[in-house]
Amino acid sequence: MALPTSFISLRLAPDQERKGFLTYSNYLAGAAGLIKQTYGSDAKELYTATFTAATKLTTSIGGRRISDRERQSAHRNLRGAWNTLLLLDHQARSTDGAHEIKNAWTPVQAWYAVHNALSALIAVQTPTARFKHSLSRQEAAKLITKRQLMPYPWDIHVRSSWSQKLDHDFYGHLSHPDVTAVSNLATPRPETYEAHFRNLLSTTADQACQDKFTNARKAKEQAGHAARLNATEKQTICSEVGATTLFDFLYRLRVRANYGDIDTFVIGCSSAPEARRFTRDLLTVADTSTAIVEAILTRYLGKRRLSQLLERIAKGHGNPPILRHRLETWRSSA
């Protein structure tokens, strides 16, 4: 049934929800813009350049024998990643009038695509692998901070600390280390993409620390102690949070859409065109982030075997571009 024109036209959103949506939308636009600015805007070019950049960092990987059980587990998770990307790609290409309603679940799809890819990587590194959201985010942080297997801008991350207040320090290859701060509500431009990306990371780190502060206060109160946290306790919590990465932001979006204030994504969006931009930016970030993990996985599982697996899935879906780009890139770089 067709939706009435009044439903799909431009509408005024409540101020709080509107500001919330613009903030998240601008974070994504900054991240997607920075990635495209670095690797190209054409979908095939973007995937190939991202995959190639990550592959150059993986030369030290190898030597571990992968069991059949580990391989099967990795393949199962990869199928989940690719099928979820297909869903998100379908939403991004859709032109139906109710597109803004889909904002309720596209952040979930973006996270699960990346989460499944990271779970596949965990499967080939740990004999008794468990697949939890927290483990995927920890794995991403380890790939960035310890193994240095992710290129710019994925390598940019934040570490939090407490002295008199909550501070966030940036690490990684910053193109503009002295970049001027920008408002979360300002429209991202090429010269401000990295500034918006840094806002994305610092606010995600801030929320993670504040959530842990709240939980620690509740635990002290339940134990019969004063709920106040001293500076040492806050610094310990900041250290426990560890590195905050782009993957933590994707999870933050998923939680907000699933359990938080869903009105931010639905009511806060003023039109279907705006919602489509939001979904396309989500797809850019999720697709290229998955490409980074795939580059690492090919070192463990081999491009030939992964190509065979992907080819079967692609044929079952009519060889869609988002999967075909992968096959073409892997074959040309074999």
Q: State the Cα–Cα distance between residues 300 and 315, nearest whole angstrom.
A: 24
Q: How high is the pLDDT of residue 13? A: 62
Which residue bears the tokens 């927290």?
134
Q: Does 110 have pLDDT greater than 90?
A: yes
pLDDT level of residue 313 (50, 70, 90 thresholds): very high
Q: Does 6 have pLDDT greater than 50?
A: no
Token couple for 140: 């991403």
Task: With respect to residue 33, please indicate whether it lies within any of the assigned structural domains.
Answer: yes
Give the DSSP letter of residue 188.
P
Q: State the Cα–Cα distance between residues 140 and 82, nearest whole angstrom.
A: 18
Give the DSSP letter of residue 104.
G
Q: State the Cα–Cα distance between residues 200 and 82, nearest whole angstrom.
A: 26
Task: Write down the H helix ranges in 14-150.
Answer: 15-39, 43-55, 68-93, 106-123, 133-145
Task: With respect to residue 189, please indicate whether it lies within any of the assigned structural domains.
Answer: yes
pLDDT digits 0-9 by tens, 130-189: 789 999 999 999 999 999 999 999 999 999 999 999 999 999 998 876 667 899 999 999
Q: Does 53 have pLDDT greater than 60?
A: yes
Q: State the Cα–Cα distance between residues 314 and 45, nearest whole angstrom.
A: 19
Q: Does 327 have pLDDT greater than 70?
A: yes
Which residue bears the tokens 């995600």?
204
> Residues 10-27: what's their mean pLDDT?
84
Is the separation of the CB atoms in 198 and 176 below 8 Å?
Answer: no
Q: Does 4 have pLDDT greater than 60?
A: no
Q: How high is the pLDDT of residue 261? A: 78
Q: State the Cα–Cα distance between residues 269 and 278, nearest whole angstrom.
A: 9
* Residue 58: burial class (beta carbons within 10 Å; 0-12, 13-18, 19+): middle
pLDDT level of residue 63 (50, 70, 90 thresholds): confident
**Whole-number CA gyration radius for the chain:** 20
Where does the chain show beta strands of DSSP type E? 157-162, 166-171, 243-244
* Residue 300: burial class (beta carbons within 10 Å; 0-12, 13-18, 19+): buried
Q: State the Cα–Cα distance between residues 23 and 265, nearest whole angstrom.
A: 11
Least confident of 13-22, 61-70, 95-104, 163-172: 95-104
Q: Does 3 have pLDDT greater than 60?
A: no
Residue 137 structural domain: 14-55+64-332
pLDDT digits 0-9 by tens, 216-265: 999 999 999 999 999 999 999 999 999 999 999 999 999 998 887 788 88
Terminal CA-to-CA distance of the chain, rounded, Å? 48
Task: With respect to residue 320, please indicate whether it lies within any of the assigned structural domains.
Answer: yes
pLDDT digits 0-9 by tens, 277-308: 999 999 999 999 999 999 999 999 999 999 99
Task: With respect to residue 3, please indicate whether it lies within any of the assigned structural domains.
Answer: no
Q: State the Cα–Cα distance between residues 62 and 285, nearest whole angstrom.
A: 27
Say how many domains are in the chain: 1
Q: State the Cα–Cα distance between residues 163 and 167, nearest whole angstrom.
A: 8
Q: Does 192 have pLDDT greater than 50?
A: yes
> Residues 73-86: what's their mean pLDDT?
96
pLDDT digits 0-9 by tens, 121-134: 999 988 766 789 99
- Reported as type and span, the H/E element at residue 332 is helix 321-332
Task: With respect to residue 321, please indicate whether it lies within any of the assigned structural domains.
Answer: yes
Task: With respect to residue 225, please indicate whether it lies within any of the assigned structural domains.
Answer: yes
Q: How high is the pLDDT of residue 127? A: 72
Task: With respect to residue 8, please indicate whether it lies within any of the assigned structural domains.
Answer: no
Q: For the chain, give the mean pLDDT.
A: 91
Task: With respect to residue 72, please indicate whether it lies within any of the assigned structural domains.
Answer: yes
Q: State the Cα–Cα distance between residues 103 and 333, nearest whole angstrom.
A: 36
Q: How high is the pLDDT of residue 97? A: 63
Q: State the Cα–Cα distance between residues 108 and 260, nearest whole angstrom.
A: 12
Provide, rounded to the nearest whole percent, the portion of the chain with pLDDT above 90. Answer: 77
The SS3 of residue 1 is coil
Q: State the Cα–Cα distance between residues 321 and 310, nearest whole angstrom.
A: 12
